[in-house]
Amino acid sequence: MEAIILAGGMGTRLREVITDVPKPMAPVNGKPFLYYLFKWIKQYPVDKLVLSAGYKSERIVEYFGNSIFNIPLEYVVEGKPLGTGGAVKYALQKTKGRNILILNGDTYFPINLNKFLSFHNKNNSLFTVALKRMRDFDRYGTVECTGNKILKFNEKRFCKDGLINGGIYLVNRQFIESRKLPSVFSLEKEILEQEAGTSLLKGLVFDELFIDIGIPEDYNRAELMMKNYY
C-alpha cells in the first residue's frame, strides 16, 4: 500500500507559537508532528510514502531524508499552492498502486489501517473516508450518513454529538484520474461535497484518538495528549 501525506500547510494560525517551519513539522515533545504519523504508519503494510510539500519543504527533506522506519520516502513539491485536491492529483504521479491512502499531515488519527483497507476492498469502494465521532464541538463540519453511505457534509457549527471527516482516505486512483479536474482544487469542496449522496462515497467510523494541530489551543493540547498516549 502506498500513502500520500499532505504536508504543505503553512501554519498561518500557528505563527504565534511556531515560526519558520511548515505546520506538519511543528515540534511536539521534541519531535516534528510528522514523526508521530510515521510511527503509527510503520505498523502497517505501507511500502512507500509520498509527501506533498510546499512551504519550507526543505525543512522536511533535511530532517527525514529518503526513508523513515525503513519505508521509502519520496517528495513532490508544489511550486504554488494547489489545494488539497490538486496536491493529491500531483502526488499520484509518484504512485503506482490501485488504491492509495491519503492523509492530512497536520492531524493524528491512528486508525486500524488493515480494517480500513479491508472495508474499502470488501465494498468495492472508490473513495472511503475515515470518520470520527465527536462531542460538544464547533470547529469541524459534520458528516451525515446512513449506514456506511455518506449523505452530506455540513458547515461548521456547534454540535452536541456528530461525525466529522477524520482526514484519512482510501482512493481508487481511477476515481481521480478519470475526472477532468483542474490543477488547483479542493478535495473537500470539489469531490467530497459534490459526490455526497451518491453511491461513490463510503464512510467508516473509528474511535481512536484524534489530534488536529491547526490552531494554537489544539497544538498546545497535543503535547500533553501525545505524551500520555506514548
* Residue 34 pLDDT: 93
Instruction: Read off the pTM.
Output: 0.93
Residue with C-alpha cell 484524534?
210
* Count of other CB atoms within 10 angstroms of residue 47: 12
Cell of 86: 490538486
Residue range 85-97: average pLDDT? 93
Extents of the domains making up the chain: 2-229
Is residue 159 within 8 A of residue 81, CB to CB? The reply is no
Is residue 105 within 8 A of residue 37, CB to CB? The reply is yes
For residue range 124-166, what is the model confidence (pLDDT) as tens digits?
899 999 999 999 988 899 999 999 999 999 999 999 999 999 9
Is residue 11 within 8 A of residue 110, CB to CB? The reply is no
What is the topology classification, in CATH, of domain 2-229? Spore Coat Polysaccharide Biosynthesis Protein SpsA; Chain A (3.90.550)
For residue range 92-111, what is the model confidence (pLDDT) as tens digits?
999 999 999 999 999 999 99
For residue range 215-229, what is the model confidence (pLDDT) as tens digits?
888 888 888 887 766
For residue range 181-194, what is the model confidence (pLDDT) as tens digits?
888 999 999 999 99
